[in-house]
Structure 1
Amino acid sequence: MELDIFNPSRQLRRAVLFWLSILLAFLALIVAALNTFYGGYYLLAAVEVLCSLFSLYVAYTCYKQEDISLFCSNSFVYVLVGVVFLATYVHPIEHGSFLWSLLFPVLFYLILGKRYGIIATGVGFVSQVVLVMHKTYHEGTLNFFELSINFMLAYLVAWLAAHILEVKRRTSETSLGLLASRDALTGVYNRHALVHNFERYRCESSKTPLSLLILDLDFFKNVNDQHGHDIGDKVLVQTAALIDSHCDEHLVYRIGGEEFCIALHNTQVTQAAHKAEQIRIAIEHYTFNDRHNPIHLTASIGIYQCDQYKSLEDVLKEADKELYRAKTNGRNQVMVCGQQKCLN
């Protein structure tokens, strides 16, 4: 499971939808006035007024809500398709109302992303091409073949460009998200990821228990002093992999040099203590480095069960207290908040 740390997509789509809906609201009113007083297109004007009101509603929703529903975004997009389709149908082809549809690919990919953007752009393409071909053929005022081909090619080029840009943007965003959330050495999550996730953890802890483990390798400084930092780094990588292999769906974070944090979802403190003991025993019996130059280590672990009222700093302090108790009590043991004795 990858985290959503570096992901400006929601903010980008929300901003695009907000400003586009405001712009469309005013443009729709202006065009509705022109269609009413100068063109006599009363049905189209009425639809444009309704579109303006709907656009203002979408803008208000974007302003009030942090996360915009997919239904709201899709509704706005297909209303826009419908209005441009109706304007193209009502006006003579020489008015060029169909040219607005050339903006569809870029706007739809920005608002909906790749998956739903493809669908909406395809709907806009088919509806507009069929309508433009129909009107140019029956009105006969413009060259049917040349106009239809040029319009289709222009739309397809815009579609291809929007698709490529969205794919590349999403790939870059994913890569930056990995860099922002993963520890460069061990590959597990980093402190920044823990800070990012903790607010969600805290909200969930009101419904399901959440236990936080802090693990520290005992006398790890001796490894660096005796074997060098390269071997020390190798041991840290092996430790992270070993911890991760015992944590199933739970997330592992490296929050210090040789200090790791494990967030155990839907886990009571007694279950967390059992999991911590499994990890402690696994580390104690594991041969680090390699067979030719084996290194044996132990770990001390502190456990604290979170509640929704404590900040991350408070929770880490409480877990650190238990870790300190495990260290001062002889190391290679698990200490649980509220319990006087170690588990082993």
Structure 2
Amino acid sequence: MEMSELNSSSELRLKVLKGLSLGVGGLAVLVAIGNVLVSQSYIYASFVMLYALYSWHVYRQTAKTTIFNGHKYIMSASLTLLVIVGTFLKPTASGVFFWTLVFPIIYYLLLGNKAGFIATVCLFVVQMSNIAFQFYAEQYFDMLTMMLNFSFCYVTIAIVSHVYEINRVLAENKLSKLATCDPLTGANNRLALKHRYQALQDQQTAFHLLVLDIDHFKAVNDEYGHDGGDVVLKAVVNTMVDAAGSDNVFRQGGEEFCILLENVTRHDALAVAERIRKEIEHSPVVYQQRAIPVTVSIGITQSEASKGVQDINRQADANLYAAKAGGRNKVVASNG
């Protein structure tokens, strides 16, 4: 699974941008032709045609693997400006004003909650001012009735768009959490670890990798059952989270876990590992009124620019095995 599959917002925004650039861009060509042939608005038609050309450029860009993030803001701003100017320059009867009602939907889908809300409010204020200007310029419609009807329609569409976007993001976050969270312990899972590795490599961020294994965990399961083993796993994760933070703790499988510590010294990484080891050793896990003694072995290594993730994992595992071979309940770190 790739990171893009966990972030459907990026994919949605790209699809909206692609559809907007193709659909509205095509309509812009027709609008430009209509302004030339019908109303002889050559200047306005030129701006509309420029927007259509830019839309075609953006549509071609959406086919590429990477696309300039600012396109969505430029597209939104330029289309908004065309409608505002069209409303201001043309008679109300031309109907340009009605394009305003689709903008809350475009804003929220393309820009997200915060930017979408700001853009929606700003456009509302501008277009209400436009209504007042058109009334004093034309004086053939009831300004109050026009304002009330526009306000009710626009605000209703804006509220629906806002509620939809909020709930869509919440649902996306829940799905992402389910995909990257270990359901038993609440720690991040191997998929989350894979993406964290990728992010650290892309950013060229130095980190220490701590690999932790619960000593004699099979004996715990044999004596206390899998329910007792589950309680031990949860307790170990809680101790790790207290020491390193929930974002840095990952379950690799079974009784093996790892911690990623970014931009810390070797001394700090050792201190975190020793804190975890000592707290687990001195805090027996209580299960069915019985105290289960638990210890852990920890291997530590530091990332290097010349090493890939597999090499770093291999070195951390080697240090973990050295800790176990040395009698368990130990911390072993790479030299240097």
Does TM-score exceed 0.5, indicating one fold?
Answer: yes
- Aligned-partner Cα distance in 2 for 1:146–1:182: 54
Q: What does the per-residue CA deviation read over 1:104-132, in whole Å, with 9 as the maximum and x for residues that have no partner?
A: 01110011111111111112222223323
Distance 2:60 2:305 in 1: 31
Q: Distance in 1 between matches of 2:300 and 2:116?
A: 46
Structure 1: distance between partners of 2:74 and 2:213: 52
Match in the other structure for 2:302: 305
Change (3 A) 1:182 1:66: same
- Give the Cα–Cα distance (whole angstroms) in 1 for the partners of residues 319 and 5 of structure 2: 29
1:107 and 2:100 aligned: no
Give 1:139's aligned amino acid. E
Aligned-residue sequence identity (percent) comes to: 35
Distance 1:5 1:235, change over 3 A: farther
1:272 positional shift: 2.6
Structure 1 residues 177 and 63 mapped into 2: Cα distance closer, same or farther (>3 Å)?
same
Give yes or no for contact 1:36–1:45 (8 Å, CA) kept in 2.
yes
- C-alpha change, 1:5 and 1:272, in structure 2 (3 Å) is farther
Residue pair 1:250, 1:264 contacting (<8 A) in 2 also: no
User: Residue type matched to 1:32 in 2?
Assistant: A
Superimposed CA distance per residue, residues 260-314 of structure 1 (whole angstroms, 9 cap, x where no aligned partner): 1000111344543343233222222222126941111111112222234544444
Alpha-carbon separation, structure 2, partners of 1:148 and 1:162? 21
Match of residue 242 from structure 2: 245
Shift of 1:39: 1.5
TM-score when scaled to structure 1? 0.87
Change (3 A) 1:249 1:161: closer
**Superposition RMSD on alpha carbons, in Å?**
2.7
Unaligned runs of 5+ in 1: 340-344
Q: AA paired with 2:21? A: S
Aligned with residue 294 of structure 1, among 291, 303, 307: 291
How far, CA to CA, are the matches of 1:275 and 1:96 in structure 2?
66
> Which residue in 1 is equivalent to 2:172?
173
Partner residue of 2:207?
A: 210
Whole-Å separation in 2 of the counterparts to 1:67 and 1:185: 39
* Corresponding residue for residue 320 of structure 1: 317
Once residues 250 and 130 of structure 1 are traced to their aligned partners in structure 2, the CA distance between those partners, rounded to angstroms, is 48
304-313 or 82-91: bigger deviation: 304-313
Q: Equivalent residue of 1:300, what SS?
A: strand
CA shift at 1:188, angstroms? 1.9
Aligned length: 334
Preserved CA contact (<8 Å) 1:62 1:68: no
Q: What is the CA–CA distance in structure 2 between the aligned matches of 1:43 and 1:67, rounded to whole Å?
A: 31
Distance 1:249 1:47, change over 3 A: same
Q: 1:229 aligns to what?
A: 226
**SS of 1:110 mapped into structure 2:** helix
Amino acid at match of 2:158: W
Contact kept? 2:211, 2:299, Cα under 8 Å: yes
